[in-house]
């Protein structure tokens, strides 16, 4: 029996409008039926009911019904209130040391620089915050030369050059740019590190974040990326995949972490409190460089 590729299943089995949820269609590898069965079982059992909510946020009752555990996450240290720590954020003093080399603030902008502009949407403000963050992470132009960004100093690299962002217009959210923890193989090629299947992503939303409630955009990204991972690397990971999000709406943000075990169909969510850049990045500098430290964090052991 041949089963369709997981990405095809995402389009075919979910009752939400997957036409508006833009997911890359990946080439199906040489079939491993058990892997496909597990992926499809996970998609039917978790993705469909959890992302079919009529509201932009998933109710506590629905989370409990599908065995989703939600815990607190410390923004400064990366420690969860329950379970093992997955990522250890780079300390702010190390971020500042790196930034003295890259100097991305030259033309980088600040949220308060655009007070006279009318973005007309909370997702627009969130996407602008993403573009400022990205300037600190990647190559930036300084005069006639260029300096590498923070990502060049770490094993975190963009995942899949042909990646198109996940998005769902009905609920007003979009994920942008996946980063993957990498290593080098025997040919000195940069590849995903199978011992730490960690992924990082930015999610911008129109609905304002609600303390303690998981949004449909956050949940959809958390359950979709491990499936994309398994399709791309052509195997089921032997351990949970850790997906960490910077989730933003307007100038509000939080870090959301999902540990997803496809084989056991189990999901654990961890969330920091909601924080704000309402009065800009420069006036919340420690908070901003702490956030950058999350993006280039160091894995702690194996995701569990």
Residue 201 counted as domain residue = yes
Residue 125 counted as domain residue? no
Q: Which of 85, 131, 76, 82 is nearest to 108 (CA)?
A: 131
101 inside domain: no
Question: For position 161, what pLDDT does the model report?
Answer: 44
Number of domains the chain is built from: 1
Give the pLDDT confidence score for residue 105 in this predicted structure: 64
Neighbours of 187 (CB within 10 A): 6
pTM: 0.80
Instruction: Identify whether 89 is part of a domain.
Output: no
Residues 265, 38: Cα–Cα separation, whole Å:
9
In a domain, 103, yes or no: no
For residue 300, tell me if it sits in a domain.
Answer: no
**pLDDT by position in tens, the chain (length 304):** 333 343 433 333 333 333 333 444 444 444 455 666 666 667 666 666 677 667 888 888 888 888 888 999 999 999 999 999 999 999 999 998 888 877 776 555 666 655 545 556 888 888 888 888 888 887 554 444 445 678 777 888 877 544 555 777 777 888 887 888 888 888 888 777 777 778 888 999 999 999 989 998 898 889 888 877 776 655 555 567 889 999 999 989 999 999 988 777 788 999 999 999 988 888 899 999 999 999 889 888 543 3
Rg of the chain over CA atoms, in angstroms? 19
Structural domain includes residue 171? yes
The residue range of the domain holding 199 is 6-83+154-275
Is 95 part of a structural domain of the chain?
A: no
pLDDT at 214: 92
pLDDT on residue 225: 83
Cβ proximity of 262 and 38 under 8 Å? yes
Contact call for residues 3 and 33 (beta carbons, < 8 A):
yes
């Amino acid at each position: 029996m041949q089963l369709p590729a997981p990405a095809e299943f995402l389009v075919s089995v979910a009752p939400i409008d997957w036409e508006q949820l833009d997911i890359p269609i990946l080439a199906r590898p040489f079939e491993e039926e058990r892997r496909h069965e597990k992926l499809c079982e996970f998609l039917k059992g978790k993705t469909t009911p959890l992302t079919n909510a009529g509201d932009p946020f998933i109710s506590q009752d629905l989370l409990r019904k599908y065995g989703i555990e939600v815990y607190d996450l410390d923004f400064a240290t990366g420690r969860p209130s329950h379970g093992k720590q997955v990522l250890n954020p780079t300390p702010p003093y190390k971020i500042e040391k790196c930034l003295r080399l890259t100097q991305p603030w030259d033309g980088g902008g600040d949220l308060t620089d655009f007070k006279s502009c009318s973005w007309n949407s909370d997702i627009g403000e969130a996407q602008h915050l993403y573009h400022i963050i990205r300037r600190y992470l990647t190559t930036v132009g300084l005069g006639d030369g260029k300096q590498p960004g923070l990502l060049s100093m770490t094993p975190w690299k963009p995942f899949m050059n042909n990646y198109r962002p996940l998005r769902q217009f009905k609920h007003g959210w979009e994920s942008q740019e996946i980063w993957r923890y990498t290593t080098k193989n025997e040919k000195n090629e940069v590849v995903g590190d199978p011992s730490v299947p960690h992924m990082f992503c930015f999610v911008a939303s129109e609905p304002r974040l609600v303390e303690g409630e998981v949004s449909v955009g956050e949940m959809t990204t958390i359950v979709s990326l491990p499936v994309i991972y398994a399709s791309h690397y052509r195997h089921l990971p032997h351990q949970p995949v850790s997906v960490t999000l910077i989730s933003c709406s307007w100038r509000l943000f939080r870090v959301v972490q999902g540990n997803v075990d496809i084989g056991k169909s189990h999901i654990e969510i961890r969330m920091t409190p909601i924080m704000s850049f309402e009065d800009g990045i420069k006036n919340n500098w420690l908070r901003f460089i702490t956030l950058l430290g999350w993006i280039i964090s160091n894995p702690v052991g194996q995701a569990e």
